[in-house]
């Protein structure tokens, strides 16, 4: 029954892009073929009057995205980091979406704080400033805690943002189903799963208690990284729609003139940002999932200060190892190993030719090495990778969507800070360190130790588990077990226990 509403929403999206002039700007930025330009303009021009007018003071694409709502703004934030894909002019305009959107009134923010924390704002804070930053979901105010005099940052959700996101996501889900129906080849990209993943990420971002928990965990995992800082959370001044954190000063990562004036070594900073991201993803399995310039501040000594922890990514141990092997293979130009890692993880259907896949990967990777970083085109690289995945029937891996997206964003940030930044050369040392410590003999011993811990915990329960298995086999639906059958069950339990002892002995011997 909602299909007409979703179709209407899609029509208004195209109409808004045409009415604001964003359609022409985006097509020019990506150098779209003439046939696509003509087709889209022919479809959108007759209904352009149905589009939102937006704020005429904003550039065309920024104007269209802000008029369409928070989900579209999120998409624009990602594009703002990819000047090599959409061009420096459009990327510069879209950076407004990172933290310079029109704010909502201070009075509304104060009312929201009072409702959420249960006390008048003036009882909690001696001062609350006008908004210092405003993004798609929330805005930030500088304040002073009345009791301690400490300066803090208060993040407050935009009123009604929950409903707006749910409406946009419903339209995206309808679009995904429509794409799968009209373009069967696109089903391997699992567009509906991608939308589901986006929804789960956004819904977590709309509960600031979860963001506070993520910041706290992230801070505890990065305490030994001296050049990386996570602000402290004030739990007694936080809730679902309000989050209070330590105030930190720093230069915005997008402010190149400010970085130069402060004497920051930009090539070293770009290298540090990329390596820290990889270290957090591979070493910790927890990484900042929204690392655009608006969420990064740079301290006077070049320390990277992270902000906004609404989107965090997590990777289990197995996925980290597979991803590291893939990256390591590219860095070492060992495309056969890259192909094997894809097949072993099930990323490529088993009936495909592994040698042909390795050659396809080589055709993508080899042109990168030896090329001047300023000549690298991420748009062309992504296009080639897409062709390879389509040819070999690879499906979208939803567990890697955020990691892949964030890596693209981080690489865009580093290229903005240092246009000569080379992602492969910079990432090499971190990946090699992870592979050395987590793949090979040392990792094997660690895995055995973990297995021994699990078996030791199960040891006291083995007799009970064996008895339950016997009872289950004796149920009316099953024939009664023979003495030999009971013996096999008990023998299996004893075998597990002996395996635990053997694993423990092997570990002790290895150590």
Check residue 237 and report its DSSP letter.
G
| Pairwise CA distance, residues 407 & 415, whole Å | 12
Q: How many CA atoms lie within 13 A of 377 on its CB side?
A: 9
Three-class SS state of 378: helix
Residue keyed to tokens 């959107």? 101
Which tokens belong to 504? 């423990």
Three-class SS state of 233: strand
List, in order, residues 6 or more apart from 146 with CB less than 8 Å away.
122, 123, 124, 125, 126
Which tokens belong to 397? 């891996």
Q: Are strands 312-314 and 286-288 parallel, antiparallel or unpaired?
A: antiparallel
Contact 141, 105 (CB under 8 A): no
Catalytic entry in 290, 316, 353, 355: 290
Work out the burial of residue 448: count CB atoms within 10 Å of its CB; fewer than 13 is exposed, 13-18 middle, 19 or more buried: middle
List, in order, residues 6 or more apart from 319 with CB less than 8 Å away.
399, 400
| Pairwise CA distance, residues 195 & 192, whole Å | 5
Element spanning 159, H or E: none
Which tokens belong to 107? 């009075």
Q: Report the 3 state secondary structure along 449-498.
A: HHHHHHHHHHHHHHHHHHHHHHHHHCCCCCCCCCHHHHHHHHHHHHHHHH
| Pairwise CA distance, residues 330 & 328, whole Å | 5
The per-residue b/e assignment along 372-385, b for 16 or more CB within 10 angstroms, e otherwise, is ebeebebeebeebe
252 beta partners: 297
Q: What is the dihedral of CA 452, 458, 462, 466, to 10 degrees?
A: -110
- Tell me the C-alpha to C-alpha distance, in Å, between residue 83 and each of 88, 92, 417, 439: 5, 8, 11, 36
Q: Report the 3 state secondary structure along 401-421.
A: HHHHHHHHHHHHHHHHHCCCC
Three-class SS state of 183: coil
Check residue 55 and report its DSSP letter.
-
Residue 290 among the catalytic residues: yes
| Pairwise CA distance, residues 305 & 296, whole Å | 6
Name the residues annotated as catalytic. 290
């Amino acid at each position: 029954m909602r299909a007409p509403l979703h179709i209407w929403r899609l029509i208004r999206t195209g109409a808004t892009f045409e009415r604001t002039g964003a359609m022409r700007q985006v097509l020019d930025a990506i150098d779209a073929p003439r046939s696509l330009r003509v087709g889209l303009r022919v479809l959108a021009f007759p209904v352009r009057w149905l589009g939102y007018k937006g704020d005429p003071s904003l550039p065309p694409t920024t104007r269209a995205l802000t008029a369409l709502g928070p989900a579209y703004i999120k998409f624009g934030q990602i594009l703002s980091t990819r000047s090599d894909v959409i061009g420096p002019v459009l990327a510069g305009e879209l950076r407004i979406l990172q933290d310079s959107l029109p704010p909502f009134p201070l009075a509304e923010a104060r009312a929201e704080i009072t409702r959420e924390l249960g006390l008048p704002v003036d009882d909690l804070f001696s001062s609350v400033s006008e908004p210092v930053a405003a993004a798609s979901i929330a805005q930030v105010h500088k304040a002073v805690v009345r009791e301690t005099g400490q300066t803090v940052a208060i993040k407050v959700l935009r009123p009604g943002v929950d409903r707006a996101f749910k409406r946009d996501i419903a339209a995206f889900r309808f679009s995904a189903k429509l794409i799968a129906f009209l373009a069967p080849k696109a089903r391997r990209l699992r567009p509906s799963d991608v939308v589901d993943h986006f929804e789960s990420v956004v819904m977590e971002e709309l509960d600031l208690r979860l963001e506070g928990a993520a910041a706290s965990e992230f801070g505890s995992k990065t305490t030994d990284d001296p050049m990386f800082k996570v602000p402290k959370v004030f739990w007694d001044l936080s809730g679902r729609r309000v989050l209070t954190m330590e105030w930190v000063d720093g230069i915005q990562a997008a402010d190149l003139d400010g970085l130069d004036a402060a004497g920051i070594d930009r090539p070293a900073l770009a290298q540090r940002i990329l390596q820290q991201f990889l270290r957090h993803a591979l070493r910790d399995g927890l990484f900042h999932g929204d690392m655009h310039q608006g969420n990064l501040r740079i301290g006077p000594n070049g320390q990277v200060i992270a902000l906004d922890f609404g989107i965090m990514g997590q990777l289990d141990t197995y996925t980290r190892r597979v991803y590291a092997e893939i990256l390591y293979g590219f860095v070492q130009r060992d495309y056969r190993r890259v192909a094997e890692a894809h097949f072993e993880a099930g990323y490529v259907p088993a009936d495909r030719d592994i040698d042909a896949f390795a050659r396809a990967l080589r055709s993508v990777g080899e042109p990168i090495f030896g090329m001047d970083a300023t000549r690298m085109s991420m748009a062309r690289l992504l296009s080639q990778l897409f062709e390879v995945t389509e040819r070999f029937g690879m499906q979208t891996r939803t567990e890697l969507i955020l990691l892949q997206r964030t890596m693209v964003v981080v690489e865009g940030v580093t290229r903005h800070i240092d246009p000569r930044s080379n992602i492969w050369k910079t990432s090499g040392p971190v990946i090699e360190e992870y592979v050395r410590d987590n793949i090979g003999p040392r990792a094997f011993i660690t895995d055995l130790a973990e297995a021994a811990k699990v078996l030791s915990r199960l040891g006291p329960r083995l007799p009970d588990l064996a008895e339950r298995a016997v009872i289950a086999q004796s149920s009316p639906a099953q024939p009664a077990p023979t003495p030999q059958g009971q013996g096999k069950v008990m023998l299996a339990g004893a075998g597990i226990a002996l395996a635990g002892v053997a694993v423990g002995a092997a570990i002790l011997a290895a150590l």
